[in-house]
Amino acid sequence: MFFAGETQHESQPGCNVVSLPRRQSPRRISIISTYAPRKCGLATFAADVVEQVGRYFDHVTFDIWAMTRGRGESGAGVREIVADDRESYRAAASDINAAATDAVWLQHEFGIYGGPDGEMVIDLVDRIAAPLIVTFHTVLENPSDNQRRIIDHLVARASRIMVMSPLSRERLMSRHHAPSEIIDVIEHGAPDRPFGREAIFKAKHDLRDRPVLTTFGLLGRGKGLETVIEALPAILKAHPDVCYRIVGATHPNLVACEGEAYRDELKMLAQGLGVAHAIEWENRFLDTDELLDQLEACDIYLTPYPNLQQSTSGTLSYAVALGKAVVSTPYIHARELLADGTGVLIEPQSVSGIAEAVCALLANPDLLAAQKRRAYERGRLTIWPRFAEAVELMIERTVARPFSKVATAQPSFDAVRRMSDSTGILQHAIGTIPDRRHGYCLDDAVRALMLVNVTTAIGRGEQVDRSMVLASFIQHAWNADLGRFRNFMSFERQWLEERGSDDSNGRALWALAHTAVHNPDAHVRDWAIRLYDEVLDHIASLDSPRTLAFIILACTTMLGHRPAHGPSLQAAQRGAGILAHLLEQSRRPDWTWFEAVLAYDNPRMPQALILAGHALGRADWLATGFDTLRWICERQTAAAGHFRPIGSEGFGIPYSHMPFDQQPVEAQAALDACASAYAIDGGQHWRDHGLAAWKWFFGANDRGEPLADPVSGLCRDGINPRGANLNCGAESILAFQLGYHSVIALVPDLDQHSGDAVDANNKQAARTIAYP
């Protein structure tokens, strides 16, 4: 019986027919691994994933990124990352970000990435914006310090983690602090073939009815094959017609170092023990179908690995799923897969253990048959349809959720109240609880004052009261002796510095101008004008790019109120001239920006040039402002169309940027700059980008995580690789609340656009002005 949304898939005769539901939403996944035609287990696994998940869930498609040792190794349709080329990792991340990728799935083994212990993988994951899934194929019991550092970093970046054994999950949680809720245990997938066809495949390989032992895999030191060869004399004494088949090419890395010396040593060992006649060597790399045929001819599968830390073995999974009796050392995967009598475990490097286990099975056909049946039944849990189903569910849990309807009602002022006291507004919070340890800062006080200037969410009396508290803090921050504002104050009301940053001084000047124009209380307006004039006289000579932008925004705001104010005219002209000059110095064909780096509040510089050009009649500055704003908007737009703010982790990296941590202040700056541009030239693209920045607050972001809540007025502190930062600090709350006033300035009739609704009572709050 089939239900809507299900599709039947045919297997080979005698196999279970599995019907799996198909979801409608297409998923595009970038898988990073070694890949065919490279000959290694990880490449085979990745190829199997692409084939099997695609077979059972055709809405999931894969972009394949193959780790290579040099360009041109991979087949058609496969992109390459050169393992020892750091720039190759960065280019791959850029290309992945430029595609509409729903998630990136990284296969991790230390040996496939460049640098000590493969540490170059960090260059890749730090630049990936899409949710990251990491499959740890090996989780070491005792990693080196550098290996631990790499695993810790990957765990911190991962939105989801896949391992193939419960022990690996436990190690990641206990030793690498991986949250239990993001770890999926998905056993290695295996084929679904009929049971009990040994006779058919023995005949195919001219083995007649001989008992067949098999070990498969890339041949290399550390596989324990010497132990089996040394056990063969005892096995052949009891069962002289036994054939031991060693199937697989020598590992390419070993061949590169010593040729076939190891294989020759094994052959000499067999010759010396008089068992060479009982061994068949298949010295080549088999494709999956031929490998399965070889395994079907086997009665007992042997994995004598001395390394008990091996987390996964694809061939062990295959052997169990095909119903083979297994004799193995108790490495991690074998210990878990062969539990409850599914296989026989023996001590590492135990010649007698192997001989006794094999002879016991061969001497009792009923015991051997029962062992095979138990293995086959256990294998039904790992067949490819089950594996594909688990992977598809993991992908669905990982990809960003669709964002909900955008809220457009004015945010509640409650969040600001809760962060405020009689001194000012506290900087940080633990969750939603104000954190007194970090005290106060000027930056947040000036943002809060600018919000109080324009909000209609509180009454006139509270508006005046809060203006007084914030104005008093700002006044107290002014250090007249140095001609600079202080920035940071402890909760005990002790200033922690005599001079704050240039940017905090520029932002404070902007808030004074804004207050002089928009505060409802005449006494507060008069205070703001007086302090503005004093401060401008001292800081007009500052010249860092963002400080200049804040000064220009302050001056153009004041010129709207005092058109002939000479100091404001001069400071605006000076600042805009310097910004324009910086752009010409730093501009490159692919870099239309004022500096070689990107940081926070990036759109403020284009916004400042736009407003200066408009206020001072400078068409060249206006054009430059539009040009640079368009450029930064493009850099902050994901391939899927949503807003992707420049992440704070990338601050200071020349001619590059990184996606995390994403912060509300950048979204609000983009929204506000677009509102300024739209008010001047009416371009639809400004409206579109501004609305994208607003929607970012409500889940239209790289993790599908809503950050803002208009009912409480709260806003989370941003988006990190694993999702939302759950803290709600003052800067984030104020960025969200000020962003509301920018969005209704950008689209005052928002209720008529895109199905969004806005309370008609709030339309009166629309203003075509700028906010920090």
- Residue of higher predicted confidence among 13 and 730: 730
- Looking at residue 757, its pLDDT comes to 34
Q: What is the pLDDT at residue 219?
A: 83
Rounded to the nearest integer, the mean pLDDT of the chain is 90
Q: Is the pLDDT of residue 316 over 70?
A: yes
Q: What pLDDT does 221 receive?
A: 85
Cis omega (within 30 of 0) for bond into 365? no
- The rounded distance, in Å, linking the Cα atoms of 741 and 13 is 67
For position 17, what pLDDT does the model report? 40
396 CB-near residues (< 8 Å, 6+ apart): 23, 27
Using an 8 Å Cβ cutoff, are 134 and 183 in contact? no
* pLDDT higher than threshold 90 for residue 719: yes
CA 119-121-127 angle, to 5 degrees, is 130
pLDDT at 759 > cutoff 60: no
**Residues in Cβ contact with 243 at an 8 Å cutoff, skipping those fewer than 6 apart:** 207, 210, 211, 212, 213, 278, 279, 280
**Helix residue ranges per DSSP H, 274-408:** 288-296, 314-321, 332-337, 351-363, 365-379, 384-398
Could you read off the pLDDT of 1-43 as tens digits, one per residue?
A: 222 233 333 334 344 444 455 456 899 999 999 998 887 889 9
pLDDT recorded at residue 68: 93
Mapping DSSP onto H, E and C, the string for 131-183 reads: CEEEEECCCCCCCCHHHHHHHHHHHHHCCEEEECCHHHHHHHHHHHCCCHHHE
Taking only the tens place, the pLDDT of each residue in 654-676 is 998 899 999 999 999 999 999 99
Structure-token pair, residue 186:
């998905």
DSSP structural state of residue 492: T
What is the per-residue pLDDT for 756? 38
Q: In this structure, what are the phi and psi dihedrals at residue 39, rounded to the nearest 5 degrees?
A: -100, 90
- Please tell me the predicted confidence (pLDDT) of residue 150: 97
CB 591 within 8 A of CB 655: yes
pLDDT band at residue 286 under the 50/70/90 scheme: confident
What pLDDT does residue 651 have? 87
Mean pLDDT over 234-240 rounds to 96
Sign for the CA dihedral angle at 145, 148, 154, 156 comes to negative
Task: Quick: pLDDT tens for 248-262.
Answer: 888 887 888 888 898
pLDDT digits over 180-207, tens only? 999 999 999 999 999 999 999 999 988 9
Global pTM reads 0.84
β-pair type (103-108, 132-136):
parallel
What is the Cα–Cα distance from 343 to 129, expressed in whole angstroms? 43
Q: Is the pLDDT reported for residue 754 higher than 60?
A: no
Provide the pLDDT for residue 749.
Answer: 65
Question: What integer pLDDT is reported at residue 750 of this predicted model?
Answer: 57
Would the pLDDT of 762 be above 50?
no
Q: Write down the pLDDT at residue 69.
A: 87
CA distances (Å), 269 to each of 237, 306, 328, 359, in order? 18, 18, 21, 21
pLDDT at 77: 86
Q: Which residues does 183 contact at the CB level (< 8 Å), separation at least 6?
A: 160, 161, 162, 163, 169, 172, 173
pLDDT tier at 403, thresholds 50, 70, 90: low
Residues 396-422 have a mean pLDDT of 88
Cα 501 to the center of its chain, rounded Å: 32
Helical H runs in 455-490?
Answer: 460-477
- The pair phi, psi for residue 428, each rounded to 5°, is -120, 165
Nearest-5° Cα angle at 690, 420 to 94: 105
Sign of CA dihedral 90, 98, 602, 713: negative
Query: Tokens 């349709």 identify what position?
Result: 77
State the pLDDT at residue 38.
Answer: 86
**End-to-end Cα spacing for the chain:** 61
Residues 6+ apart with CB under 8 A from 47: 35, 36, 288
Residues 210-222: what's their mean pLDDT?
89
Tell me: pLDDT of 320 over 70.
yes
